[in-house]
């Protein structure tokens, strides 16, 4: 299909759509909503150094090199992880405050 044809097809489908009908192939499936408790748990990254490995044919030496690199960079990555966790937790605190504020405003209606 040429770009011109695609544009015409999109316009035709948009014109046909009415009310709650959805355009075929352009629907977004709903996802489960994650609770604040789960987000807080995910906010703190906990990398597992035991998961650093190689599955290649010569995996043992490659795994040793990778683990050595993780060991050599642990201070820098630890600092980055701490900063990211702090940001994530502050952001989640703000989101929780906003959700509470919205709830209070909706209750006053």
pLDDT tens per residue across span 43-101 = 888 888 888 888 888 888 888 998 999 999 999 999 999 999 999 999 999 999 999 99
Question: Which whole-number Å values give the CA distances from 41 to 44, 50, 85, 88, in the listed order?
Answer: 6, 21, 10, 10
* Residue-wise pLDDT tens digits, 4-52: 777 777 777 777 765 545 556 666 666 677 788 888 888 888 888 888 8
pTM above 0.75?
no
Rounded to 5°, angle at Cα 92 from 89 and 93: 85
Contact between 33 and 24 under an 8 Å Cβ cutoff? The reply is no
Question: 65 Cβ partners below 8 Å, 6+ apart?
Answer: none
Contact between 89 and 41 under an 8 Å Cβ cutoff? The reply is no
């Amino acid at each position: 299909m040429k770009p011109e044809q695609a544009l015409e097809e999109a316009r035709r489908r948009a014109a046909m759509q009415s009310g709650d009908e959805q355009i075929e192939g352009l629907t977004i499936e709903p996802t489960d909503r994650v609770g604040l408790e789960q987000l807080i748990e995910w906010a703190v990254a906990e990398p597992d150094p035991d998961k650093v490995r190689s599955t290649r044919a010569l995996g043992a030496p490659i795994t040793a090199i990778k683990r050595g690199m993780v060991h050599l960079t642990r201070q820098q990555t630890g600092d980055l992880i701490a900063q990211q966790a702090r940001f994530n937790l502050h952001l989640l605190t703000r989101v929780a405050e906003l959700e509470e504020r919205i709830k209070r405003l909706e209750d006053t209606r």
